[in-house]
Chains A and B, each alone.
Chain A
């Protein structure tokens, strides 16, 4: 693996995606301001805004970084460079994760800080926020995997829709699992085996999706 080449490809995508990245950061900062400064009602509104920003950021950046290369016919230019498809895939996966992880880490950090430090909020929500935040990361990896493997706009949009529906469905389901729901609104944070297992399952899925994408892409025979 030529890591210098991978780094150049990452910097290329970073430059080309700088506007969506800046907008997602701006949206994230605005949502956090509402979340931190808006009291109890502001916390709920800020949380909804943060989720919206993260979902939008995930959908836009992932679609831009995977499908657009083929759709706008820039893939022949990239693939004419001295790179292998493994390096191309590695660069895409890294840049997608980095672009998403920046607003995601800030949002998660701010949410945890507010829940942990503010006397008006319950710390019991922290495991639920961690599980749902990880779900969004999982959803981003899912969209990235579909986008990179299929290179089809139709399938990627379908993956975005599945990801959006899954956030609501999984959010509802997790909130009704006994090991999570029983301490959710309590004053103290409790990591139950159920919450731990959910988190583990999410990160195992993320690892599987990333590894699977890399494997499928490495075995591809036709790049154009």
Chain B
């Protein structure tokens, strides 16, 4: 596949993107989201998720780098690109004085691909009353209403910036269930940002971690879950912790160290045994544990570099 063909398969392509503020900078963001994939974009609060997404939407202009979304250069072609994008963000509000039906008619008048039967179906599934004014809806209902308006326009790319933040467990389950149903459409691409790794883990097939304005890791979810492990060891008296490639953190204490690795292979167990340590357990890690370990590793690395400089 040549360069042009591979770029055409990318719904989102960030290349060396930067954005500088007084107290925060997004630096050298490289991001590729293939068409039809679902990317979970995970980062702590203030990591740069929303800034990245706003640049993707053309709502912020990057200071450096290039952004292409659905084959269009952003921000120059943002109006045309947004014709195929459904966007819901945690800080997005609808007009409180207007009913949901009015919002549906308004969005319908703009998007020729608006799917009215699907919109009506979503009304039922989300248990929303179209004649109700937005100001009378609960937070969960408002998020569902915004999601309905984004989904019923049948977008090629769905961008969700922390949509489940502040939702009660039932509303969160309903929203996630609907997103899972949307995934049945293989041509639909989704970027889902959250600091809730559990939500992301449920629906994503790709994961990108961001912290302090930099992307610290990005890969398939299964690869993350396969390669990250914790090895619980027991050392002989006077035994040293085995030095193995791919170990990013040594925890535990004394003769019971715990090694965290991001390049696990079964051969590591044999290597530990060869070096005199007994492997008591090899634990899988949740996405949240991987995320936290990844962030801590990167921050420690940065602090070391700063001390060296």
Residues of A within 8 A of B (CB): 2, 5, 8, 12, 15-16, 72-74, 76-77, 79-84, 87, 221-224
B41 to chain A, nearest CB (A): 17
Q: Judge if B24 is at the interface, Cβ distance under 8 Å.
A: no
Q: Judge if B198 is at the interface, Cβ distance under 8 Å.
A: no
Residues of B within 8 A of A (CB): 54, 57, 59-61, 78-83, 85-87, 89, 91-98, 102, 106-107, 109-110, 146, 150
Q: A5-B110, A76-B89, A82-B110 are in contact. Are A222 and B79 (CB under 8 A)?
A: no
Q: Which 9 A-B pairs have the closest CB atoms?
A: A221-B61, A80-B87, A73-B93, A76-B92, A82-B82, A82-B83, A84-B79, A224-B59, A223-B59
21 contacts between A and B (CB under 8 A): A2-B79, A5-B79, A8-B106, A15-B98, A16-B97, A72-B93, A76-B87, A76-B89, A76-B93, A77-B94, A80-B57, A80-B86, A80-B92, A82-B82, A87-B79, A221-B60, A221-B61, A223-B59, A224-B54, A224-B59, A224-B60
A222, closest chain B residue (CB): B60
Bound-complex Cα distance A81 to B95 (A): 14
B146 to chain A, nearest CB (A): 7
Bound-complex Cα distance A5 to B109 (A): 10
Most buried by A among B78, B95, B146: B95
Q: A12-B106, A83-B79, A224-B59 are in contact. Are A74 and B93 (CB under 8 A)?
A: yes
* Secondary structure class of chain A's binding surface, majority of residues: loop
A19, closest chain B residue (CB): B97
| Additional pairs, 13, CB under 8 Å, beyond known A77-B146, A82-B80, A222-B61 | A5-B79, A73-B91, A73-B93, A74-B92, A74-B94, A76-B59, A76-B87, A76-B93, A79-B57, A81-B107, A84-B79, A221-B61, A222-B60
Bound-complex Cα distance A80 to B83 (A): 9
B96, closest chain A residue (CB): A72
Bound-complex Cα distance A79 to B82 (A): 9
Bound-complex Cα distance A141 to B81 (A): 32
Q: Which residues of A sit under 8 angstroms from B60, Cβ to Cβ?
A: 221-224
B95 to chain A, nearest CB (A): 6
B56 to chain A, nearest CB (A): 11
B186 to chain A, nearest CB (A): 24
Q: Which residues of A sit under 8 angstroms from B82, Cβ to Cβ?
A: 80-83
Q: Which residues of A sit under 8 angstroms from B59, Cβ to Cβ?
A: 76, 79, 222-224
B146, closest chain A residue (CB): A77
B149, closest chain A residue (CB): A77
Bound-complex Cα distance A87 to B82 (A): 14
Bound-complex Cα distance A224 to B78 (A): 14
Q: A222-B59, A224-B59 are in contact. Are A8 and B110 (CB under 8 A)?
A: yes
In the complex, the answer to whether A84 meets B78 with C-beta atoms within 8 Å is: yes
Bound-complex Cα distance A101 to B144 (A): 39
Q: A80-B57, A221-B61, A222-B60 are in contact. Are A73 and B92 (CB under 8 A)?
A: yes
Q: A80-B85, A224-B60 are in contact. Are A74 and B95 (CB under 8 A)?
A: yes
A82 to chain B, nearest CB (A): 4
Bound-complex Cα distance A77 to B146 (A): 9
Q: Which residues of B sit under 8 angstroms from A77, Cβ to Cβ?
A: 92-95, 146
Bound-complex Cα distance A74 to B96 (A): 9
Bound-complex Cα distance A223 to B85 (A): 17
Q: Which residues of B sit under 8 angstroms from A83, Cβ to Cβ?
A: 79, 82
Bound-complex Cα distance A84 to B83 (A): 12
Q: Which residues of A sit under 8 angstroms from B92, Cβ to Cβ?
A: 73-74, 76-77, 80
Bound-complex Cα distance A175 to B196 (A): 66
B76 to chain A, nearest CB (A): 10
Q: Which residues of A sit under 8 angstroms from B86, Cβ to Cβ?
A: 80
A68, closest chain B residue (CB): B95
Bound-complex Cα distance A15 to B86 (A): 24
A73, closest chain B residue (CB): B93
